[in-house]
Structure 1
Amino acid sequence: MNVVFINAFVESINNILVTMASMSCEYQKPYIKQDQQPLGVVTGMIPMAGDNVKGSLAISFSEGAILKISSKMLGEEITSLEDGCTDLTGEITNMLSGGARKILWEKGYDFDMAQPHLLTGTQMIEHEVTGPVMVIPFVTRSGPFFIEAVFASRLNRAKSIV
């Protein structure tokens, strides 16, 4: 996957957490995902499509990470996933894809986005295109979360961007 795409997701999630939750995170070495299992307890997914590229983005949170992020963003102690964490995961997914879309637009990529959908528990993550799924792991003091993305060039019949 193009490093420009990875950097757009890293920059976007950092901006969201610093601005909306007064939190920081560190990303670790990206890797290729080998299956469709979710990496967290709640996942937001959003398809992204442009003139030459189609793909999807998912962000999966561990329970500790989403509880802390939700508590910080909502200004109250959130103690269970049912206390709005899934809705907030959808909002974070929107913010992440919007932020990354803006950064990528400035670099010459243009994407349309659809409404995010949420997965909980062990629902499989099914991306919009076939190809290597890049995972960017992040750590916070409250637990990990993961961004995964896959993009395929429409010009090269579902080959990922390299």
Structure 2
Amino acid sequence: TYDNIVEYIISCTNEVFETMIPMEIKCDGSFYQKEDMISTDVISLVSFTGEHSGIVAFFGTTDMAIKITSKMLGMEIPDMDQDVKDAMGELTNMIGGNLKNKVFETFGAMHLSVPIVIAGANMSISSSSKEKGDVKFSTGVTCDSTNSWMMTPFSSEGETFNIGLVVKKND
């Protein structure tokens, strides 16, 4: 159910931060967001396939991605660089892997992709290959879902990020 999935996202995200990133985070609820309303600087995503297809993603500002990376690596990272992109990919991969194990009973067996990380300014994404209108960026990862993203926002040190999930049952 929706509530269980949100609880799993919160739990998985907290577990990764507690074990890998010395940074306190606070969950700020959850909500649904239409894909065309998502605009962010850093997107890191892992897709999954199986009985269900979908995408688990990190959406955040450049500043938040740098803060997380600095804490993860234990050193100050001044700017967006390859280390930040690698760290965001690893963060999403760990959250996605933990989530995969927790939702097995609900979604069945699934296989995860390698992470894809995109950094820029005010980017949006498309998880559907059936696009209408302008698209700023297409991930090349599709689950052909017309569902809204289930977003779970977290905050820390004056910044926020979202862990998003979009999923559809395969025929």
TM more than 0.5: yes
Letter in 1 for 2:21: A
More deviation, 89-98/126-135: 126-135
Query: CA offsets, 1:101-126, max 9 Å, x none?
Result: 11223667322111121121234222
Does the aligned pair in 1 maintain the 2:40–2:59 contact within 8 Å? yes
Q: Aligned equivalents of 1:46 and 1:83: distance in 2? A: 18
Query: CA offsets, 1:59-114, max 9 Å, x none?
Result: 11223322221111111111111251111111111111001111223667322111
Determine whether 1:92 maps to 2:106: no
Determine whether 1:131 maps to 2:147: yes
Letter in 2 for 1:95: M
Cα gap change, 1:60/1:108 in structure 2, threshold over 3 Å: closer, same or farther? Answer: closer
**Could you say what the CA RMSD is over the residues aligned between the two structures, in angstroms?**
2.0
Does the aligned pair in 1 maintain the 2:40–2:124 contact within 8 Å? no
Q: Report the counterpart of residue 73 of structure 1 in structure 2.
A: 72
**TM-score relative to the length of structure 1:** 0.84
Q: Aligned equivalents of 1:149 and 1:6: distance in 2? A: 9
**TM-score relative to the length of structure 2:** 0.80
Q: Report the counterpart of residue 146 of structure 1 in structure 2.
A: 162
- Give ranges in structure 2 of 5+ residues lacking alignment: 128-142
Does the aligned pair in 2 maintain the 1:27–1:137 contact within 8 Å? yes
Q: Aligned equivalents of 2:19 and 2:46: distance in 1? A: 22
Q: Report the counterpart of residue 30 of structure 1 in structure 2.
A: 30
Q: Aligned equivalents of 2:108 and 2:150: distance in 1? A: 18
Q: Give the C-alpha shift of residue 37 in structure 1.
A: 5.2
- Give ranges in structure 1 of 5+ residues lacking alignment: 156-162
Q: Aligned equivalents of 1:84 and 1:57: distance in 2? A: 21
Letter in 1 for 2:147: G
- Count of residue correspondences: 154
Q: Report the counterpart of residue 158 of structure 1 in structure 2.
A: none
Determine whether 1:45 maps to 2:39: no
